[in-house]
Structure 1
Amino acid sequence: MEFRLRVFSEVAKSLSFSKASKTLHLSQPAVSKHIKEIEIRYGVKLFERQGNSISLTPAGHDFLQYSDKILLHYEELENHFLSLQQKFPKKIKIGASTTIAQYIVPKSLAALKQRFPDTAFTLINDNSATIEHKIETNEINFALIEGKNQNPLLKYEKFLDDELVLVTNVKSKFRTIKIGDLTQLPMVLREEGSGTRHILEHQLTEAGIDINHLQIEMVLGSTESIKTYLYHGESFAFVSIFSVIEELKNNKLQIIDIESFEIKRPLYFVSKQGYQSSIYDTIKLFFKKGHNNRL
């Protein structure tokens, strides 16, 4: 029954039998059969079929809530007893916001893989808002994010301190500026929804600067895109200090100091309120160990 619930959950969240079949590595008729068996067992209709599209019925929405809870408890049960045997599940998904996924997580994932070679780790990365949503909808159980810890449905645990620094091309004549000078510089920003964008807007507002008053030259969806853009122009951007360590060493970018202004931000482990897992606890220990010099 546990696998049948997973089939239903995948169809319900993708609203597509064909997409679910590809994700689950099943034939489409097999997926349809699993759904039909559930409908027969409980005497309900779970999906409305309209041409090539499907939607959840009211009963389907209720069933999804119950199935998510059951699958979550099943995973907690499995994780608990596997940990007693010093074993990890065959597959583990870890979420991470974009900056963390690119510059912080890989080191610890390599250590985890060496310790648990039989486990396939999958890293799901997106901006912080999307990662939090994936936890809410049980697509992933835990993640690492930057930004504000504001969602009351989620539990946040500080992992690491980060700093956003203003960087530009090494050819720039600027070395130090005042906070008010930011409104005169061509700026490149991350997209709305990213943790970097959120904390930047908050800190600038605290300093009396409306982000809409900046000369925003470009909005890009990743730090790597921003860095490449800066190589070939005279723009400025706020990025994580972790993301430019190699560029600073190789004299590709430079940090511009801002008088009496800095942006510190905590990075968090995040999970649903009440979520408990010895597997999650082990993973947190690996990440803390890998970065304990900055905790």
Structure 2
Amino acid sequence: MTSLTEPSTRSSDRTVAERVQAAHERRDRGVSRAEGWRRRGPLLPALIFMVVVTQIPFVFTIYYSTQSWNLVRPGSRSFVGLENYVSVFADSQFRGVALNTVLIIVGTVLISVVLGLGLALLLDRAFLGRGIVRTLLITPFLVTPVAGALLWKTTMLDPIFGILNFLLSPFGAEQIDWVSRYPLASVMIALVWQWTPFMMLLILAGLQSMPRDILEAGRVDGAGPVAQFRELTLPHLRRFIELGAVLGAIYLVNTFDAIYMITQGGPGTASANLPFYIYQRAFLGFDIGQAAAMGVVVVVGTIVVATVALRLIFTSFTGKEEAR
């Protein structure tokens, strides 16, 4: 009789123990959730402020994009649905300006990364005055973008008094009006000058985080400087370069001051990008509806591209860490 009741007693004891354990786990989860909300409480005003400042204006922009609203014709405002979006994608100037935006972003990021990589490799070595050189190289990133663009237009690229023409004069170069002849390149030069220090700092941080014993092991195995850079240094810096490229591209989408100060988007729209073209349609053409539709298209496209790029980068970060 005892042998028959023992299994049922043990099973009931296990059931009670499991219930008690589950109750403790639920209580712990409740405490942890309450603790989490308590910690998030002080951040609630900042979250509300961010929503009010960023999301509410964007909602109004979406609303304005469904309206036919031109400030030159008072009282003509009406609901047109998605007609503004159809006009935006049918606008050949919008497509040309979008291509200019891609060229500015890709060209500036690629050149800045290459120059930043070279400068970071130089600053990673010990030499006399390295701190002063590093400070001087960082300075362009700290200059106000408007002041930097004005400096390039009046001091560097001026056809008569510009320093660039003065430096090229011994090679037989004529007085070139860089802004008029090469407007898009002139804007990109100013942006490369501004963003190279950012890439340099990011890559330099990656270089200084690289374990030195790996380089020593490669040197002992007979690897030369080029082989060490190709097989060891560059794979280690890949994540930092990708992160710098994505962050630089996200910020360069919003470039306005350099174009406004150097070329005014001209001649025509040869050097205009999407933000500057939206500014022209809104404040020079007074077409609020189409300008709002362009703004929505640019924001959505930027969010999609940035989300995909950041996910790829974070996947490479976590994947490499798990592989290790």
Same fold (TM over 0.5): no
Which structure has the larger Rg? 2
Greater share of helix residues, 1 or 2?
A: 2
Task: Give the TM-score taking structure 2 as reference length.
Answer: 0.18
Task: Give the TM-score taking structure 1 as reference length.
Answer: 0.19
Higher relative contact order (CA 8 A, sep 6+): 2
